[in-house]
Amino acid sequence: MLEKIRPKAEDRKRLKEAADAILSRIEGLARERGHNFKALLVGSGARSTWLAGDHDLDLFIAVPDGADLKDALELARLVAPVHQEKYAEHAYIHASVDGFEVDIVPCYHVLNASCLRSAVDRTPFHTQYITSRITGLEDHVLLLKQFMKGVGVYGSELRTGGFSGYLSEILVLRYGSFLGVLEAASGWHPGETIDLEGHCAQAHEEPLVVVDPVDPYRNVAAALTLDKMFQFVAASRCYLARPEIEMFFPLGENVLTDQEIIGRMRERGSHMLLVEFKAPDVVEDVLFPQLRKAEESARAMLERHGFRALRSDVYQAAGLAGMLFEMEVAELPAVSKRFGPPAWEGEHLSRFLSAHIQKLSGPYLEDGRAVIEVRRKYTQAWKLLDKEILNLALGKHIAAQIRAGYRIYYDIEILEVKDLEFRTFLSRYFKAHHKIC
Amino acid sequence: MLEKIRPKAEDRKRLKEAADAILSRIEGLARERGHNFKALLVGSGARSTWLAGDHDLDLFIAVPDGADLKDALELARLVAPVHQEKYAEHAYIHASVDGFEVDIVPCYHVLNASCLRSAVDRTPFHTQYITSRITGLEDHVLLLKQFMKGVGVYGSELRTGGFSGYLSEILVLRYGSFLGVLEAASGWHPGETIDLEGHCAQAHEEPLVVVDPVDPYRNVAAALTLDKMFQFVAASRCYLARPEIEMFFPLGENVLTDQEIIGRMRERGSHMLLVEFKAPDVVEDVLFPQLRKAEESARAMLERHGFRALRSDVYQAAGLAGMLFEMEVAELPAVSKRFGPPAWEGEHLSRFLSAHIQKLSGPYLEDGRAVIEVRRKYTQAWKLLDKEILNLALGKHIAAQIRAGYRIYYDIEILEVKDLEFRTFLSRYFKAHHKIC
């Protein structure tokens, strides 16, 4: 098992060499230009806790207070002439070098982690904290990371909302071993708190609170969602009850065929409603919160009009992004009740009644309130969404894309979307299966 | 106007004579048998506040403490040989005598209204209280009663839940005139309290509290529903803003034809669901609470299974009784979410999961709780009702009738019910129009 996930000696050597080469080129260039910059390898590459097959290198260029991050970015550009410029809190560089996916990130060199100028400034402190303590526990970290991957909770990007690498390392430090973490997690409740350095946690609202050893004000598990946390908890319980290697390496997912999708839809009898548009050109950590917000806003609108969604989800695939709603109630009769004020508010009542001359029946009283039955504006969920989509609370990037164009697929029409990434998303949607027990 | 509703001199004379004749026959028979019973004319007949055209006579036989109500009932039987025996709290007699509908009711003669042995014992005190005070205000009572009739809030039977004759008399005493009542009512709020004798009301929960002048513990308006109360309030406002004689005498209702019913159903697009059974042989005050209870229980069951009723109502017509549900959601997809315990309750979770092996998808977590998607047992509201009707909370009389047989009519099938009384009910249902402003 470990054979499979532990990087081989030659891979470690290659990674070390690649990192060193870039680091010394950066420092060389910095010296030439008179910059007092420090280049560092951070992340799992720095402490032998990366999973075999991962080829990510995180390199930071720390600039002293008063210096300009732009100068560091310039060095990064020179070191990796073929690159993409990306943007989180600040700009950084992504490039492929010698088979490695390299991020080169400018940051401020601060004296301790509580006087950060930006979130990335914290990373070198993490590296330092873990590196000095993890020796001898690396395999446990590897097992835990692979287990989290296998059960679908690894990755702290906002798309996943799972456990970060740093978080998994802290858990191993706290509980001493892979199995120790699983055993502890089996008994977790919402609000669980881990405070390695006894910093005394600030009040956090998140379901899991892990006080950052290098920054007492920060919850390392802030991005972890309640559901991902307890997917891990429930999966830990499964594994302890019956350890199975498949939990680390789940069998390949099969993507449903057209016929199977039709079968699922018939079996369920619900109505699928898909809104698809061009994905805006932003990183996932910007895109997914906006997608989720649009999804929630759309669901609230559907419910407000009397429709009912069973489930919904969002995706990004092949340059497109979208929201999928599985409707339990997708059509409604024309008649709809409009509730007015209580009958004892005479003036409001008159105003309500004179505003609703057009009616199917009423007025009558129900629980003391006036009711008029009127013709419903939208009797079909897809039409409501089609007409009102731009009135939803949409993030600015998504609003711009939707304004430029979108398409609604209803029921069987979703088969027109052939893209494999979408079909994988859809197949997962239908199975909606997590390893829990 | 008053011409029309005030009983003519000759009618008063006829009523007086008819009442006197029966009363003296009762007292004669009582004397013959050595009973110390007192026969009384009570109700509106006793105080000239009955509406022309009403031919109801309420006669009470008051028996002293220690005597047997059965002896009084026996006298009533003899006085009206052709009669029906009815039953409220105790047995009483209903008969047609000389064109009058006569109720002869045995009661206990108690010394004051707070030492009642049964609810009817209070009535003679009411008669005494009103008779001695209403002189000169009779026409106002007549106008108020006719107005209440016209706007559909007169009658304190449980079917109507409106204003009793006694209540309307108290209102006239309180506010001095017909218009005085309407003006006061225009400003009513829920919890309005009227306490003529300054008894200091007990805490009552009802929307209108009218402390009974002869029994401080009783709310005269206990049977009045919130909606009937405010139908009256809102109608009072209409009348004061624009007095129209039609509010006293609404135009004849037209019963919808088959074509009109079909038109209404198409226009609304909802689904009608009717359950009909033989009406049990009990008075309306027993039947209607049971019907309402069955209606509520059925609606709760429908909603629990995911269906949604827009409105519902109950009726009794031509020896049959039933419940009508207008469904907003009458069909649902096969797939249905079953929510399990939160994932941190490990044992509950395992039990939940092993109880749901049969599934369409899942398990997954939602807001920390396990969810399994299963096949819904009932995808159609009418089938649910058909299969589960005997599991509803049904009053015993209705339960017995439904056990003996019932029929469900769905959508257009309701046209098979031709009975005029039902059609009147149905027409009113569709219009659902009350005079409010």
Q: Does residue B26 lie in a domain region? A: yes
Q: How confident is the model at residue B201 (pLDDT cuts 50, 70, 90)?
A: low
pLDDT band at B232 (very low <50, low <70, confident <90, very high): very high
**B145 in a structural domain:** yes
> Are B106 and B74 in a shared domain?
yes
Q: What is the pLDDT of residue A409?
A: 98
pLDDT tens, B395-431? 999 999 999 999 999 999 999 999 999 999 999 999 9
Q: Does B166 fall in a domain?
A: yes
> Which has the closest alpha carbon to B272: B323, B333, B334?
B323
Is B436 a domain residue? no
Q: What percent of chain B has pLDDT over 70?
A: 99
Residues B217 and B247 in one domain: yes
Residue of B207, B332, B434 lying closest to A364 (CB–CB): B434
User: Hey, what amino acid is at B125?
Assistant: F
pTM: 0.86
Give the CATH number, domain containing residue A311. 3.30.70.590
Same domain for A358 and A403? Answer: no
Q: Which long-range contacts (CB under 8 A, 24 or more apart) does B383-392 make?
A: B384/B301, B384/B302, B384/B305, B384/B307, B385/B273, B385/B275, B385/B298, B385/B301, B385/B302, B385/B325, B388/B301, B389/B275, B389/B298, B391/B301, B392/B294, B392/B297, B392/B298, B392/B301
Residue of chain B whose Cα is closest to the Cα of A333: B269
Scanning A370-409 for CB atoms below 8 A from B yields 370, 373, 379
Residues A149 and A285 reside in one and the same domain: no
Q: Which amino acid is at B356?
A: H
User: How many structural domains is chain A composed of?
Assistant: 4
CATH number of the domain at A369, please: 3.30.70
Residue A127 included in any domain? no
What radius of gyration do chain B's Cα atoms show? 27
pLDDT given at position B253: 79
Q: Of the given ranges (A44-48, B103-107, B140-144, B429-433), which has the lowest mean pLDDT? A: A44-48
CA of B238, closest CA in chain A: separation in Å?
A: 10
Return the pLDDT at B74.
Answer: 93
pLDDT at A201: 62
From the list B271, B270, B275, B272, the residue with the least C-alpha distance to B388 is B275
**Among the partner residues A310, A367, A436, nearest to B335 by beta-carbon distance:** A310
Rounded Cα distance, A285 and A92, in Å: 15
Which residue, among B191, B263, B226, has the nearest Cα to B427 in the 3D structure? B263
What DSSP element (H or E) covers A308? strand A308-317
Verify that A274 and A384 share a domain, yes or no. yes
Pick from A208, A240, A328 the residue to mutate for testing the B interface (most B CBs within 10 Å): A328
Q: For residue B293, with 0-12 CB atoms within 10 Å meaning exposed, 13-18 middle and 19 or more buried, which class applies?
A: middle
Residues of chain A in contact with residue B161, where contact means CB-CB under 8 angstroms, are: none
In B146-205, the residues whose Cβ lies within 8 Å of chain A are: 186, 188-190
Residue written as tokens 């401020």?
A108
Q: Note whether B242 contacts A: Cβ–Cβ < 8 A.
A: no
Q: DSSP readout, B214-236? A: TEEEEETTTT--HHHHHHHHHHH
Question: Are residue A353 and residue A385 in the same domain, yes or no?
Answer: no
**Beta-carbon contacts of residue B18 (< 8 Å; ≥ 6 apart):** B57, B97, B98, B100
CATH number of the domain encompassing residue A203: 1.10.1410.30
Task: Pick the residue from chain B with its C-alpha nearest to A329.
Answer: B332
Q: Which of B3, B155, B21 is nearest to B100 (CA)?
A: B21
Provide the ipTM.
Answer: 0.89
Minimum distance, in Å, between the CA of residue B365 and any CA atom of chain A: 6
Phi-psi region of A345 (alpha: psi -120 to 50; beta: other; left: phi over 0): beta
Residues B288 and B348 in one domain: no
Whole-angstrom Cα distance, residue A142 to residue A7?
Answer: 10
Query: Is the same domain home to B365 and B312?
Result: no
B128 assigned to some structural domain: no
Residue-wise pLDDT for B220-230, tens only, equals 999 999 999 99
| pLDDT of amino acid A217 | 86
> A47-56, A82-91, B32-41, B328-337 — which one is most confidently predicted on average?
B328-337
In 3D space, the residue among A308, A330, A137, A38 whose CA is nearest the CA of residue B303 turns out to be A308
Mean pLDDT, residues B88-94: 87
Residue type, B149: K
Q: Is residue B56 within 8 Å of residue B43, measured between CB atoms?
A: yes
Domain that holds residue B81: 1-121
Residue A164 and residue A280 share a domain: no
Residue A116: give its domain's CATH number: 3.30.460.10
Nearest CA in chain B to A235: B343
Query: What is the DSSP secondary structure assignment for residue B154, as one 8-state letter?
Result: B
Domain co-membership, A281 together with A419:
yes
pLDDT of residue A45: 86
Any CB–CB contact under 8 A between A242 and chain B? no
B329/A353 Cβ within 8 A:
no
Buried b (16+ CB within 10 A) or exposed e, A4-39: ebbbeeeeeebbeebbeebbeebbebbeeeebebbb
pLDDT at residue B200 greater than cutoff 80: no
Please answer yes or no on whether A335 and B270 come within 8 Å at the CB atom. yes
For residues B50-70, give the mean pLDDT: 89
Q: Which of B234, B268, B353 sits opposite A334 (nearest CB)?
A: B268
Q: Is A283 at the interface with chain B, CB within 8 A?
A: no
pLDDT of residue A119: 82
Q: Are B254 and B423 in contact (CB under 8 A)?
A: no
Distances, alpha carbon A171 to alpha carbons A49, A180, A193, in Å: 13, 9, 11
What the block records as the tokens of A27 is 């420092």
Q: Looking at the DSSP assignment, which residues form a beta bridge with residue B365?
A: B370
Q: What is the pLDDT of residue A117?
A: 82
Domain boundary residue, one of B224, B251, B278: B251
User: Is B188 found in the same domain as B108?
Assistant: no
Phi, psi of A217, rounded to the nearest 5 degrees:
-85, -5
Read off the pLDDT of residues B252-278 as tens digits, 9 standing for 90 and up: 778 999 999 999 999 999 999 999 999
Write down the pLDDT at residue A77.
Answer: 93
Instruction: Give, for all 437 residues of chain A, the pLDDT tens digit.
Output: 788 889 888 888 999 999 999 999 999 999 999 999 999 999 888 888 889 888 889 999 999 988 889 999 999 999 988 888 888 788 899 999 888 999 999 999 887 766 788 888 889 999 999 999 999 999 999 999 999 999 999 998 888 999 999 999 999 999 999 999 999 999 999 999 999 998 876 778 899 999 999 988 899 999 999 999 999 999 999 999 999 999 999 887 789 999 999 999 999 999 999 999 999 988 888 999 999 999 999 999 999 999 999 999 999 998 999 999 999 999 999 999 999 999 999 999 999 999 998 999 999 999 999 999 999 999 999 999 999 999 999 999 999 999 999 999 999 999 999 999 999 999 999 999 888 88
Per-residue confidence (pLDDT) for residue A285, from 0 to 100: 87
Residue finishing a domain among A231, A251, A271: A251
**What are the chain B neighbours of A361 within 8 Å (beta carbons)?**
430-433
pLDDT (0 to 100) of residue A345: 95
**Is there a domain that residue A436 lies in?**
no
In A131-270, DSSP assigns E strands to 192-194, 208-212, 215-219
pLDDT in the model for residue B111: 79
User: Cα-Cα-Cα-Cα dihedral of B282, B285, B291, B293, to 10°?
Assistant: -130
Chain A: give the shortest CA distance to residue B132, in Å.
Answer: 34
**At which of B202, B219, B251 does a domain end?**
B251
Residue A246 lies in a domain: yes
Q: Are residues B398 and B293 in the same domain?
A: yes
Q: Which amino acid is at A167?
A: L
